[in-house]
Structure 1
Amino acid sequence: MWKLPDPMLAASVSDPALPDGWAAEVKWDGWRALLSWDSGRLVLLSRRGTDLAPSFPELRSGAVQLPDATALDGELVVWESGRLAFERLQGRLQRRGAGAALLAEQWPAHFVTGAHAGS
C-alpha cells in the first residue's frame, strides 16, 4: 500500500549561502503538513500523522484541481491583513463540521509548498 513520505523539516545552518545546484525553501509561519489527492480522496496529515482534513474543509476545493496520485509536502498558513496569522490556525484541530466551515469562511487556510534542497 502506498504511504505518504515523512515531511521535510526546517534545519538551521551556520552559513546561508547555498552550494551550487541547491535550492532553499521559505520558512512559513504555519503548520507543516502532507497533502495527498487520489481518486477524489483528500488526505491531509500533520507531521505527526494527525488527520487534519476535517479541520480544513476549504482545502478540498483546491485539491480537486490536482491530478490523481499527487502528494505534496508543505505548510498550512492563514493570511490576515496582509500578514501570516499563525494564531488563526490555533484551535482549528478542535473544529469539525459546521465549526470548521465557519472558520474556513472567516480565515481560510492555504497550503503552500516550496522548492526542496537537493543536488
Structure 2
Amino acid sequence: MQKTKRVAIGLLAAGLLLAGCGGDRSETVAVDSTLVDVFVELHLLSARQALVGDVTPAFRDSVLARYGLDSATVARRLQHYARDPEAFRQLYQQIQERLMLEHYGSEATPR
C-alpha cells in the first residue's frame, strides 16, 4: 500500500506540474466524484495519522473497498488525469472544496 500511496502522490504532483503548463481553458470536464470521495477520505486519514498515529494500511484499504476500488484501479484513473491537466485541476479543486467544507462547515471559508 505504501508503494501505491507513493505512486498516487507522484501522479498528483505530476498533474499539478502539468496543470501549470496548460493554457486558459473555460471548458468543464466531468470529474470522477468517486475519486474525490476517496482522496478526501484518504487525506483525512493522513491527518488522523499525523495527529493520533493509529492509522494502519487496513484503514486505507477499507476506504478503497468502500468505493469498490483497489489501488490498481485508482492508479489507472489517476493516469487519465495526468494526461489532462484541466481535468486534474478540476479534480483537485473539488477535493480542496470538500476538505474546506469538512474543516469550516457550511461556510467553507477561512476566517
User: Which fold has the larger relative contact order, with Cα–Cα distance below 8 Å and residues 6 or more apart in sequence?
Assistant: 2
Radius of gyration: which is bigger?
1
More helix by share: 2
Coarse TM-score class (shorter-chain normalised): under 0.3
* TM-score scaled by length of structure 2: 0.27
* TM-score scaled by length of structure 1: 0.26
